[in-house]
Chains A and B, each alone.
Chain A
Amino acid sequence: GAVVSQHPSRVICKSGTSVKIECRSLDFQATTMFWYRQFPKQSLMLMATSNEGSKATYEQGVEKDKFLINHASLTLSTLTVTSAHPEDSSFYICSARVPGQGAHGYTFGSGTRLTVV
């Protein structure tokens, strides 16, 4: 089946530094990818929709200058958390819609656990 590969699975960074998370569609082309954030014991919250070759669309309350999204190719989207702070510590998950699988064809990455110290 269609696979979305997300890296790294875990990252620890110092406060004030930036962290890049990659999401790759391995055997299909993803024109649209979605980025979610999940705090402990909470549900997934959609952060932004990433479209290949154009600017991402951010959900209300998500700072676009802090969470930089790049979707430069049909198989790669990246999320960069800039100037990370401890409150940015969370589980970040990407998702892509798989062409040809109908409206239910969303596949998710395995997530990235970010810890900012």
Chain B
Amino acid sequence: DAKTTQPTSMDCAEGRAANLPCNHSTISGNEYVYWYRQIHSQGPQYIIHGLKNNETNEMASLIITEDRKSSTLILPHATLRDTAVYYCIVRVTGANSKLTFGKGITLSVRP
């Protein structure tokens, strides 16, 4: 029972912003939105997370809609090294809350 839906793939040009959408229409009030990415044959890497406010860090920005039913991860200036599978995950916080990965979206950054 998928909690999030993402497009299968997208591409963008190097240097341009990459906007990765995610739908989570059944998100509950205590669930956060997390984004991880996995570069080929490596372990996943944490990017960012948020509850309802927009968030920004050195890697990306996370825009969450007011109704929290969808969000967008923004990589402001994509580089070739950003080519990866990006996973949008919703989960409650908690000491041992599990991370459950969906299929993610494959982002290809072209030169």
Contacts and interface: CB of A to CB of B under 8 A. Distances in A.
Interface in B60-102: 87, 93-102
Contacts, number: 54
A111 B102 contact: no
Interface residues of A, number: 26
A104 B62 CA distance: 14
A107 interface: yes
A86 to B, nearest CB: 19
Given A34-B98, A46-B98, A49-B96, A108 B104 contact: no
B103 interface: yes
Given A32-B96, A49-B96, A107 B46 contact: yes
B43 to A, nearest CB: 3
Contact of B43 (A42, A45, A105, A111): A111
A103 B42 contact: no
B49 A104 contact: yes
A113 B43 CA distance: 11
B34 A93 contact: no
A24 interface: no
Contacts of B21: none
Contact of B93 (A36, A43, A45, A103): A103
Given A103-B49, A104-B46, 19 more contacts: A32-B96, A44-B44, A45-B101, A46-B98, A46-B99, A46-B100, A95-B43, A97-B96, A102-B93, A103-B32, A103-B94, A104-B32, A108-B43, A108-B44, A108-B45, A110-B42, A110-B43, A111-B41, A111-B42
Question: 6 smallest A-B Cβ distances: which pairs?
Answer: A108-B43, A103-B93, A44-B101, A43-B101, A104-B49, A108-B44
Interface of A: 4, 6, 32, 34, 36, 42-46, 49, 91, 93, 95, 97, 102-111, 113
21 contacts: A4-B43, A6-B43, A34-B98, A36-B101, A42-B103, A43-B101, A44-B38, A45-B101, A46-B98, A46-B99, A97-B95, A97-B96, A103-B32, A104-B46, A105-B46, A106-B99, A107-B46, A108-B43, A110-B43, A111-B41, A111-B43
